[in-house]
Chain A
Amino acid sequence: MKVTIDGRITEVPKGTTILQAAKLLDIKIPTLCYHPLIKPFAACRVCVVETKTRWGDELVPSCQTACRDGMVVNTSNEHVLKARRFILEMMLARWPNVPILRKYAEEAGLKTPRFTSALKDERPDACILCGLCVRACDEVVGASAISFADRGIQRHVSTPFNLESEECIACGACAMVCPTSHIKFEVEDYKGKTPEFLLGPNTAIYVPTLQSVPRVPVIDAESCIHFKTEGCQKCVEACEPHAINHEMKDEEIELEVGQVLIATGFDAFDPTPMAQYGYGRLDNIYTGLDVERMLNATGPTGGKILLKNGQAPRAVGILHCIGSRDENHHRYCSRVCCMFALKFSHLIKERTQGEVYNFYIDMRAFGKGYEEFYSRVLHEGANVIRGKVAEVVQAGWSKRDEGTLLIRCEDTLIGRFREIPVDMVVLCNAIEPRRDAEQVGRLFGLSRSPDGFFLERHPKLDPVATTTDGLFVAGCAQGPKDIPDSVAQASAAAARMLATIAKGAVEIDPVRAEIDELYCSGCRICNALCPYKAIDYIEDKNVSRVNMPLCKGCGTCVAACPAGAITGSGFTDKQVYAELEGVLSV
């Protein structure tokens, strides 16, 4: 279809509105109640343009009116401008200080409005009743938490009965579309305070990290509006390659494999129960991972070390061994904390120029180049105090002290009790086994050491294999370790697995158990007892059967079988007796 806008001819597909067509021609038409992702409302009438019709020159809202073939449109002649001026004048009479109205009025050639409304609202962020928020909430979000109340001049946007709306899902769509920022979106943390930044994804769609593989955005189902109300899906409209699919679900894939490498990693120790350190209770107390995110150039603060009030800290205390080497929590050393604490000292010092205090029990800088790094940090002027911190408290009561934290500890080197004021505290929390380690262990028949990590076959001679053939373990799943150690262990495990694959066959010990299916009653006592998970129950035959490659011939099942149906191959009673007879006959 051909349309002429301000004397310029253009070709547009059917259904294009005048506003869209004008945009293609780079002709600007002011709008207030229009948003490209929301259906046109045609209420503000600021976007009126003139079209030539049979009945003469008509003013129509360009946001809603579709182009007709051969249509002649004028967007800024005196007829249009006069109407636009009047409409803006009426709006300015009511909301004289709203910037967008003043801007449009100026563009339309209106200087000062002649009228003043009886309901004048002089706030610059007054609600101009464009209805974008109401429609975004209804059409896009599907929550319908807000709507117009009253009519005529009394019309206003409100929640039902002006009470906190139960339908509101706090998505912020209304605040986002509001042209005057009348609706404000305030994020409250768990204490009802407004944080300056969030240490988590800020949007429902985000790229997990810059290093993530594959580097594609993911949708957070917990904050995505679509999963709350089944509405929205604006990302689907916006995505040109049509790559978004909300229907995708987590799926279970069954793979048949010969070998498994357990590298399930670790959990970071939650320091909340250590109430003396104030985590989760006081502001500006972070764990190592929080600070790591803050230091990241793509993190929420863009790599800046900031307090909640947005200022840089003057002094930072770094507390080592939180949850590690602690009788009440984990007795083991988490191995990585000393070094990442030193890294923090270095980076925080570099980025904030503030004081850094390290509180340590023993400084364990045992890796390659680690000790040198420790010396460098000491040279840079980081303070290291040997002694476990007793508690972190809010300092003083005066206004000046507000927000300052006080670290109380014993400096064991000088034998004195010390109190050190800081702005921020970093807790170097321990590495601990994953909370589902027990289930994983049971699934694979893996033993765990007293600290809860998976047990390797031999700590020195075979640190990557487990007692079950074909099952390997690497990384922090086996015990706390740093990145180089994890990489080394994983490489070793991979090599072991590849060796088996290359061979194409497994060698098995000739000593193993055998079940005589004729005698087996299917009681399944042996299934549970087998330390190698080598006995399977065959349901349709109601018998148990030994998985030969896994059986180590330990004989536990042989001794336990109540029916005497299991024999150790090469160690049957008959053979043992024959052996004995042979020995005794000499």
Chain B
Amino acid sequence: MAYRMHLMVCAGTGCVSNRSLDFRDALQKEIEKRGLDNEIQVVTTGCNGFCGVGPLMVVQPDGIFYQQLSPKDVPYLVEEHFLKGRPVKKLMYVPPETKAPVPKMMDIPFFSRQMLIALRNRGLIDPENIDEYIARDGYAALAKALTQMTPDEILTEVKISGLRGRGGAGFPTGTKWEAVKVAEGEPKYVICNGDEGDPGAFMDRSIVESDPHSVIEGMLIGARAIGARWGVVYIRNEYPLAVQRINIAIAQAREYGLLGDNILDTGFDFDISVSKGAGAFVCGEATALVAAVEGRLGEPRARPPRLAEKGLWGKPTCLNNVETWANVPPIINRGGKWFAEIGTEKSKGTKVFSLVGKIKSTGLVEVPMGITLREIIYDIGGGIPGGKKLKAVQTGGPSGGCIPTDMIDLPVDFETLTEAGSMMGSGGMVVMDEDTCMVDVARYFLSFTQDESCGKCTPCREGTKLMLDILTKITEGHGTMEDLESLEEVAKIVAETSLCGLGTSAPNPVLTTIRYFRDEYLKHIEAHKCPSHVCRQLNTYKIDPEICVQRGHGCGVCRRECPEKAIFGEKNQPHRIDISLCSKCGTCVDMCHFNAVTVE
């Protein structure tokens, strides 16, 4: 039966948390009530990407985009749009600059500037229905790879494409596959690394949730190329929806004969099992991940031997990130050359970034390599809210570094980011405005890596703790110039001598902030001041007596709420803070409705 309209309701984790499923149920009911269920189909899709404005829905075929929906909007929406044909303006996206609603999704700058390869099916298909994936050319690449190409030709195609690992290090995928292919040992394994642990990064989750079959197809093609028999999808247990969807997808693929023995009658055997992660960040490291899959302590080991030689169960293993696998089917379908035309000289194709922090449009964006940070932040992300100035962009998650404003015209690819002291990482992108203290940022990211260090090797275990202690000392105003010096030295040694990627990259936030924001460190150390007023221990709180009396009439809320009883004053009288008693907790600032408390 042909429907005249498809309502694509986003059911990514972000929207589901904002109760998009309730909205979907209400919508379905209303449509049935109005007798439209023969004409209009409600589809539950994976993550649409524009997570900041969820729950959201796209009406196809017109591509009309509705945002921030709730069940109570349903009757009006159905009546107006689906019965009378008048799209509802008040539910549309309104860009802050123009104040004019934008009806079509593709006219919203957030979407129009993106280029979708890995996320090609997002918001367009029901991730729990294999037929919808097949309808969007799904498994065509597999058929091509199995029937028209030899494993060597697949490998050549991937090599021509110049695809590099999307998990962080950017190792050329073709080279990795070839190493596993030529390695001795049977059976060979392919693993999909879905242990996405970076705070603020969620592209892997989004891909598995919105398009799980693209990962399965990519693994199938990879397995064919390298001669693997078994595959493992390692996915975080904290992603229940993703676990559920990949399990459904695997079951459906098995049912269709796309997994199992003799796939598509070509004599190719391959099957996938799912392994759930137990929560340690370091298990995203390849060797630790393999140890965890084997049921051992999830700790990295020194390389060599590489996984290509001795991986899962001691056999040659090819481990790639979710996004990398999702990029494989389009490369086979459209040719490596097509892929290689996108991006920069050394970094080909597109990359998904999760754009978060002080930015107007939060969400997942897929952009061609070589795009500048400025384009991502201002054109796609819509700039900084509240008219604040951009201070830095943190890329690559806790292992990445901070790139200052004057470098935002850098083209984004693996090499330039590394040169700038940061890294591509898994694609986290945290935008920071002038209210952000860079010392505190370094301390925050380090506290994460310190907490997630497995503790196996000395530099990472002791060094991250030592750096964190020094940074804490500086943010509390007790730092000295010697501390800054030893901080830099320790950071360099930790980066140089640690065992795995976690340790070698953990000092990146420290090193880049010292490199680009040394003056902020100096202000903390020498003047005992935090320019952004983030480090509370360095702040001095004062109450403006005029504002306090004239606007607040000495309301006394600060006095009542102060946990140290450091504020004195009478009704209708100006209040004052006794600095000797103040613990600098900042409660008074938060409580005052008249902005009478100032921070210096």
Contacts and interface: CB of A to CB of B under 8 A. Distances in A.
A150 B455 contact: yes
Interface in B446-461: 450-459, 461
**Most B-side CB within 10 Å, residue of A40, A90, A117, A151:** A151
Interface in A47-64: 48, 59, 61, 64
A565 to B, nearest CB: 72
A59 B302 contact: no
Contact of B464 (A41, A48, A148, A152): A152
Interface in A36-79: 40-46, 48, 59, 61, 64-66
B295 to A, nearest CB: 12
B254 interface: no
Given A45-B499, A66-B304, A148-B297, A94 B462 contact: yes
A91 B458 contact: yes
B455 A45 contact: no
B466 A117 contact: yes
A84 B484 CA distance: 21
A83 B493 contact: yes
B489 interface: yes
B493 to A, nearest CB: 4
A93 interface: yes
A151 to B, nearest CB: 5
B528 interface: no
Nearest to A114: B486
B466 to A, nearest CB: 6
Contact of A59 (B282, B463, B496): B496
A86 B490 contact: yes
B460 to A, nearest CB: 8
B457 A44 contact: yes
Nearest to B301: A42
A90 B499 contact: no
B502 to A, nearest CB: 10
A151 B462 CA distance: 12
B455 A152 contact: yes
B465 interface: yes
A87 B455 contact: no
Nearest to B454: A151
B461 A155 contact: yes
B476 interface: no
Interface string B482-508: 100010011001001111000000000
A94 B299 CA distance: 22
Contacts of B462: 90-91, 93-94, 117, 153
Given A42-B457, A90-B466, A48 B497 contact: yes
Given A45-B458, A152-B451, A40 B302 contact: yes
A115 interface: yes
B-side interface size class = 20 to 34
Contacts of B451: 152
A314 to B, nearest CB: 53
A48 to B, nearest CB: 6
A115 B464 CA distance: 13
Contacts of B459: 45, 86-87, 90
A118 interface: yes
Contact of A93 (B302, B454, B466, B496): B466
Contacts of A94: 462
Nearest to A39: B301
Contact of B455 (A117, A118, A151): A151
Contacts of A154: 455
B280 interface: yes
Nearest to A63: B302
A361 interface: no
**Most B-side CB within 10 Å, residue of A42, A59, A152:** A152
Contacts of A131: 456
Given A86-B489, A153-B465, A148 B458 contact: no
Contacts of A150: 455
Contacts of A82: 493
A371 B304 CA distance: 78
B469 interface: yes
A-side interface size class = 35 or more
A527 interface: no
A154 B459 CA distance: 14
Given A86-B490, A91-B462, A59 B454 contact: no
Given A117-B465, A118-B465, A42 B455 contact: no
B457 A43 contact: yes
A153 B455 contact: yes
A129 B461 CA distance: 10
A94 B458 CA distance: 11
A43 B457 CA distance: 4
B493 A87 contact: yes
Contact of B499 (A42, A114, A152): A42
Contacts of A40: 302
A158 interface: no
A89 B280 CA distance: 28
A61 B459 CA distance: 12
Given A90-B459, A151-B452, A83 B486 contact: no
Contacts of A59: 496-497
A152 B297 contact: no
B172 to A, nearest CB: 16
Contacts of A45: 457-459, 497-499
A147 interface: yes
**Most A-side CB within 10 Å, residue of B280, B458, B466:** B458
Given A43-B499, A86-B489, A115-B486, A153 B302 contact: no
A272 to B, nearest CB: 47
Contacts of A66: 304
A191 to B, nearest CB: 38
A91 B463 CA distance: 9
Contacts of A46: 458
A41 to B, nearest CB: 8
A88 to B, nearest CB: 9
A151 B469 CA distance: 18
Nearest to B455: A155
**Most A-side CB within 10 Å, residue of B297, B456, B459, B499:** B456
A151 B153 CA distance: 45
A155 B486 CA distance: 24
Given A83-B493, A90-B462, A115-B466, A148 B455 contact: yes
B463 A90 contact: yes
Contacts of A93: 462, 466
A132 to B, nearest CB: 13
15 contacts: A42-B499, A48-B497, A83-B496, A86-B489, A86-B493, A86-B497, A87-B458, A90-B466, A114-B482, A114-B486, A117-B465, A152-B454, A152-B464, A153-B465, A155-B455
| Nearest 4 pairs of A and B residues by beta carbon | A155-B455, A42-B302, A90-B462, A152-B453
Given A91-B458, A151-B454, A153-B455, 14 more contacts: A42-B499, A61-B499, A83-B496, A86-B489, A86-B493, A86-B497, A87-B459, A90-B458, A93-B466, A114-B482, A117-B462, A117-B465, A152-B451, A153-B453
Interface of B: 280, 282, 297, 299, 301-302, 304, 450-459, 461-466, 469, 482, 486, 489-490, 493, 496-499
Interface of A: 40-46, 48, 59, 61, 64-66, 82-83, 86-87, 90-91, 93-94, 114-115, 117-119, 129, 131, 147-148, 150-155
